[in-house]
Chains A and B, each alone.
Chain A
Amino acid sequence: MGVTCVCQVPVLEGKSVQQTVDMLHRQLEQLGAMKQGSFWVDCETYHTTGTASGQPSKLLYVMHNSEAPLSCTALFEGGPCLMADGNFDVLMVKLKSHFQNAKGHKVESRGARYRYCDFLVKLGTVTMNSSARGISVEVEYCACVVPGDCWNLIKEFIQSFLGPNVPELPSVFATKAEGLFVPADAVDTMTQYLELFGKVRKQQVLQGASVR
C-alpha cells in the first residue's frame, strides 16, 4: 500500500481515446516500465429512497478495485466511507427497498498495469455504458505511505511521461484535517477515483460524441 495519485489525461486533439492510450503505453514502455497484467475499477450508484421527502435523495457509491480483489468500498460523496468484503454487494441486493441501483450510471475504468521499480502505473479507459469517456492514470508509489513526503517525487515521475499535464496535490490529502503527514490508505484512492468518475459523468453533459 502506498501513496496514490489519480488524474485524468485529456484526450489529444484529433485523436481518439484508444490512440491516446496507446501513445501513453508506448511512452511508459520507453521509460522502461514492465507490463504486469491489467486492472479495473468500477463504481455503481445507488439512490437512497429516504422517507423524508423534500430532502434530495443521497447517492451511495459502491466501488470495487482489482488491487484489493476481496474488498468493496461504499462511500457517500464527501461523507462517511466503508471498506467491506465481497458480501457487501449481496447486502445491497437485500437492501433494495432502501437503496435503488441506478443502472445507467455505472462507470468503470479498465486498462493495463505497469510496474517501474517502486512505481505502479495504471492506465485506464473510463467507460460509461460501454462508451469511452476519458482516460484515467493512477500512479502509486509503493515505498512510502505518507503523502507529504513523496508528493514531489510522484509529481516528477508523472511529469516524465505525461509531459505538461501535471496534476496538483489531490484534494483528498489537502483537505485532511490532520494534514499531509498522515498515512494514506485505500479509501483515499477510491475517493480520488470517485471524483474522477464524477467529473467524467458531468463531462457527458457537455461533450458526448467528440470524446469517442
Chain B
Amino acid sequence: MSGGPAVRVSIESLCEKQVQEVSLDGMETYVPPLSLSQNLAKMAQRIDFNQSDESEVEEGTSLESEWKQEQPQVEAEEDCQEEGMLHFQPSLWPWDSVRTALRSALTEMCVLHDVLSIVKEKKYMALDPVSQDNTATKTPQVLQLVSKKRALATAASVLLKGAERLSKSVCENQENRRQRDFNSELLRLRSQWKLRKVGDKILGDLSYRSAGSLFPHLGTFEVIKNTDIDLDKKIPEDYCPLTVQIPSDLQGSAYIKVSIQKQAPDIGDLGTVNLFRNSTVLISNIHPRYPIPFIHFCSAQNVLLCKEILAQLSREAVQIKSQIPHIVVKNQIISQPFPGLQLSISLCHSTGEKAQRCSPDRPDDHLYVLEHNLHQLIREFHKQTLSSVMMPHPASAPFMHKRLRLAGPLAYNKNQINSLQQNEGLLEKIIKQAKHIFLRRRTARTIDSLASRIEDPQIQAHWSNINDVYESSVKVLITSQGYEQICKSIQLQLNIGVEQIRVVHRDGRVVTLSHQEQELQDFLLSQMSQHQVHAVQQLAKVMGWHVLSFSNHVGLGPIENIGNASAITVASANGEYAISVRSGPESGCKVLVQCPRSLNKDQKCDVMQDARWAQLRGPYREVQWSRMEGRNFIYKMELLMAALTP
C-alpha cells in the first residue's frame, strides 16, 4: 500500500451541456444549466402526491378519496384556467401541484378527524362489522362425501402401512429365531469339527490330516441350511436346522475284519465271501442326545480310517517281497502266516440300505484284538509324522527321524543307520501279531488236550499275565498228584514267540521248537515219561533207597518213536531188593524187581556152598503194574517200596 510517491488525482465532472443552437460560424450555444433552485423545482414537480394519497387512506373512505381526487382535479382545472390565461406555462409556479396536493390531504385529514370524533360519540354514527355471507360458502353433499372418503383413505393407508411394517417385523423375528438356531448349531458343530467357508458354501473336514495322516482322500462334507420347515406347524422333536452332506463313498459304516481260517482249497473262492452285515447295531450305541449329523460324521470318519488302513496294507502287500506273496483281491488281503493257514484282512463297508447278511460271521471268527491293533498302529503312524522327533525339521533336511539327520555329519555306518530306522510296515506287524496269537492259542490247546487226556503225571500250566504283542510265556509243571513237593523236577518255561517256541528246562537245557503242533506234543509226552523216572529218584531219597543207576536217555531196548526212554534202578536200604524202572513215552512204564536169592528156594545150587551168595539179588521179575493198587504211578511205587522194605 505504501507504493511510490502520491499521485494527485483530480476529478472533474463532465460538463456536458445541451446544445441549443449551432451558429453558422460553428459556434455552439449551450443551454444554460439549471440553477439549484430551478433544479429543485424540477424535482418537486416529479412528486406525485395523488399516488401517495391513495395508499394511506382506508378502504371505507375510498369514496371520499375518490371525491378528494376529484377535488385536486377541479382545482387543477381551476389552476389551469388561471394558468391558461398565462400562455401554457406549467412551471409558472413549480410548487403549485405540491400546494394542491397538500391542501387536499389536509382536507381529507380534517374530514377523517371529524368522522372519527362523531363515531366516538356513538350518537349519530356507529361502527358495525361487515357480516359474512353464509350462502356463498355452502358446499354440496357429494363434495362432502368425496372429501370424507379421501380422508378415510389416507387414514387407512397410514394404518395399512403400519400393519405391514408390524407383520414384516414379526416375520423377521421368526426368521431370526430360525437363523439363530442355525447359527448356534453351526457354532456347536464348529467346536467339534473343522469347518471353513469357501465362496458361499460351508465345507468341513472329516479326515485325519490334521492328526498326521497322509492319505490323499479329502474327506470334505458340506453343511446345508435346512430351510424346508413350515413355521406355522409345530417344529418336530429331532428337527435340526442344518443338514450335512457326506461324500458318497464315506456313507454308511465300515469295519476291518481280521480272521484266520484254514486255507481255502481253491484260489477262486477268494473274494466271493460276502462280507456285509447289518450295521444298525452301530448307531444305537451312540448317546441318544447326540443329534443325527454327528453320528454320521463319526461313522464316516471310521469309514475313512478303515479305507486308509486297507490302502496302507494293500500298498505294502504289493511292495514288500516275501516268500509267499500276499494276495490282494478287491477289499481283501490274504496272506499265509503258516502253511495250511490263511490270514484274511478285509474291509466290510455297508451303506445302510443293504441289509443283506450272507455268510453270518461266527463270533470267534473275528480276531478283535488284531482289528483294534490295526487301528492303534495306524494312529501310531499318524502320530509319528507329527511327533517332536520328526517335526519341526530344518528346511534342508529330509523328513525323517531327528537322529537320522545327524547320520551324515557323524558318518554313521550301515549298522547304526539300521538301528535307527524302522523297517517294518503295517502289514508285517499285523502278520507277526497274528502268527503269535495263533501260536499261543494252539499251544494252549495242546497243553489243555494233553492235560485232559493224561491223568498220571499231571500238567499244570501257569500263563503269565504280562506279555508282549510278539511274545508270551507259560510255565508248565509236570507233577504227580499227592507228591507235588517231592517230584517237582520237571518245570518248563515256554516262551512263545512269533514263529518258534523256546523251552527252558529247569536243569538249564534250552530247546527250540518250531510252530508244529506235533513237536510240542511229543516233547511234552517225553517230558512226562521222564518225570516218572525222576519221581522214582526223588521217592527213593525219601524212602531211604539208594539210586544205583539213572539215565535220562537209555541206549538199550526198543527204540521209541517220540523221544527217548529213561530208566532208573534203585536198591533198598539193606540192599536186598532192587527196583528197576524203564519209562518211555510210547512204551509206558515197566517195573522190574530184583529179590534176594534166598527167597527163591527152588533154585538151590550145589555149586555155591557159601551162604553169603544167597544174599545177593537174584533175577529180575516184572511187576504186573496194572494190578497194583494205587491211583498213580508214584503211589504204586511207594507202596511197592514199602512192601519190599522189611
* Interfacial chain A residues near B643, Cβ < 8 Å: none
State in angstroms the CA–CA spacing of A73 and B409 once bound together: 9
A65-99 Cβ-contact flags toward B at 8 Å (1 or 0)? 10111111100000000011111100000000000
Query: Most chain-A Cβ atoms within 10 A of its Cβ — which of B410, B411, B412, B413?
Result: B411
- Partner among B408, B412, B414, B417 whose Cβ is within 8 Å of the Cβ of A84: B408
* Interfacial chain B residues near A73, Cβ < 8 Å: 411
State how many angstroms separate the Cβ of B310 from the closest Cβ of chain A: 33
CB under 8 Å from chain A, chain B span 409-460: 409-414, 417
* Interfacial chain A residues near B396, Cβ < 8 Å: 87
* Interfacial chain B residues near A65, Cβ < 8 Å: 411
CB under 8 Å from chain B, chain A span 116-171: none
Secondary structure of the B contact surface, majority rule: loop
Instruction: Say whether A1 faces chain B, with CB atoms less than 8 Å apart.
Output: yes
Measured CB to CB, the nearest residue on chain A to B407 is A70
- Partner among A69, A83, A88 whose Cβ is within 8 Å of the Cβ of B410: A83
Instruction: Say whether A22 faces chain B, with CB atoms less than 8 Å apart.
Output: no
Measured CB to CB, the nearest residue on chain A to B409 is A83
A84 pairs with B413, CB closer than 8 A: no
Measured CB to CB, the nearest residue on chain B to A68 is B411
* Interfacial chain B residues near A68, Cβ < 8 Å: 407-408, 411-413
* Interfacial chain A residues near B414, Cβ < 8 Å: 67, 69
* Interfacial chain B residues near A1, Cβ < 8 Å: 411, 413
* Interfacial chain A residues near B405, Cβ < 8 Å: 85
- Partner among B408, B410, B413 whose Cβ is within 8 Å of the Cβ of A72: B408
Secondary structure of the A contact surface, majority rule: mixed
State in angstroms the CA–CA spacing of A84 and B410 once bound together: 8
B408 pairs with A83, CB closer than 8 A: yes
* Interfacial chain B residues near A87, Cβ < 8 Å: 396-397, 408
Measured CB to CB, the nearest residue on chain B to A190 is B411
State in angstroms the CA–CA spacing of A84 and B412 once bound together: 11
Sort chain A's interface into a size bin.
10 to 19
State in angstroms the CA–CA spacing of A71 and B410 once bound together: 8
* Interfacial chain B residues near A71, Cβ < 8 Å: 407-412
CB under 8 Å from chain B, chain A span 163-212: 185-186
State how many angstroms separate the Cβ of A188 from the closest Cβ of chain B: 11
* Interfacial chain A residues near B412, Cβ < 8 Å: 68, 70-71
State in angstroms the CA–CA spacing of A68 and B409 once bound together: 10
Measured CB to CB, the nearest residue on chain B to A66 is B414
* Interfacial chain B residues near A185, Cβ < 8 Å: 411
* Interfacial chain A residues near B408, Cβ < 8 Å: 68, 70-72, 83-88
State how many angstroms separate the Cβ of A3 from the closest Cβ of chain B: 14
A69 pairs with B409, CB closer than 8 A: no
State how many angstroms separate the Cβ of B27 from the closest Cβ of chain A: 113
A85 pairs with B417, CB closer than 8 A: no
Measured CB to CB, the nearest residue on chain B to A67 is B413
* Interfacial chain A residues near B397, Cβ < 8 Å: 85, 87
B353-386 Cβ-contact flags toward A at 8 Å (1 or 0)? 0000000000000000000000000000000000
State in angstroms the CA–CA spacing of A68 and B418 once bound together: 12
State how many angstroms separate the Cβ of A40 from the closest Cβ of chain B: 14
* Interfacial chain B residues near A72, Cβ < 8 Å: 408
Measured CB to CB, the nearest residue on chain B to A186 is B411
State in angstroms the CA–CA spacing of A186 and B409 once bound together: 10
* Interfacial chain A residues near B417, Cβ < 8 Å: 69-70
State in angstroms the CA–CA spacing of A45 and B410 once bound together: 22
Measured CB to CB, the nearest residue on chain B to A87 is B396
* Interfacial chain B residues near A84, Cβ < 8 Å: 408-409
State how many angstroms separate the Cβ of B395 from the closest Cβ of chain A: 11
Measured CB to CB, the nearest residue on chain B to A73 is B411
State in angstroms the CA–CA spacing of A83 and B407 once bound together: 10
State in angstroms the CA–CA spacing of A86 and B407 once bound together: 10
State in angstroms the CA–CA spacing of A84 and B409 once bound together: 4
* Interfacial chain A residues near B409, Cβ < 8 Å: 71, 83-85
State in angstroms the CA–CA spacing of A186 and B414 once bound together: 14
State how many angstroms separate the Cβ of A34 from the closest Cβ of chain B: 16
Measured CB to CB, the nearest residue on chain B to A69 is B414
Query: Most chain-B Cβ atoms within 10 A of its Cβ — which of A68, A69, A72, A88?
Result: A68
State how many angstroms separate the Cβ of A62 from the closest Cβ of chain B: 13
Measured CB to CB, the nearest residue on chain B to A72 is B408
State in angstroms the CA–CA spacing of A134 and B412 once bound together: 28
State in angstroms the CA–CA spacing of A1 and B414 once bound together: 11
State in angstroms the CA–CA spacing of A67 and B408 once bound together: 11
CB under 8 Å from chain B, chain A span 40-71: 65, 67-71
State in angstroms the CA–CA spacing of A186 and B408 once bound together: 11
State in angstroms the CA–CA spacing of A88 and B417 once bound together: 19
Query: Most chain-B Cβ atoms within 10 A of its Cβ — which of A69, A83, A186?
Result: A69
State in angstroms the CA–CA spacing of A88 and B411 once bound together: 13
* Interfacial chain B residues near A85, Cβ < 8 Å: 397, 405, 407-409
State in angstroms the CA–CA spacing of A113 and B396 once bound together: 33
Query: Most chain-B Cβ atoms within 10 A of its Cβ — which of A68, A70, A71, A185?
Result: A70
* Interfacial chain A residues near B413, Cβ < 8 Å: 1, 67-68
* Interfacial chain A residues near B411, Cβ < 8 Å: 1, 65, 67-68, 71, 73, 83, 185-186
Measured CB to CB, the nearest residue on chain A to B404 is A70
State in angstroms the CA–CA spacing of A85 and B411 once bound together: 8
B514-550 Cβ-contact flags toward A at 8 Å (1 or 0)? 0000000000000000000000000000000000000
* Interface pairs (9), CB distance under 8 Å: A68-B408, A69-B414, A70-B408, A70-B412, A71-B410, A71-B411, A85-B407, A85-B408, A85-B409
The 8 closest A-B pairs by CB, nearest first: A85-B408, A186-B411, A68-B411, A70-B407, A70-B408, A71-B408, A71-B411, A83-B409
Which residues of B come within 8 Å of A, CB atoms?
A: 396-397, 405, 407-414, 417
Q: A69-B417, A70-B407, A71-B412 are in contact. List 15 more A-B contacts (CB 8 A).
A: A1-B413, A65-B411, A67-B413, A68-B411, A68-B412, A68-B413, A69-B414, A71-B408, A71-B411, A72-B408, A85-B397, A85-B408, A87-B396, A88-B408, A186-B411
Which residues of A come within 8 Å of B, CB atoms?
A: 1, 65, 67-73, 83-88, 185-186
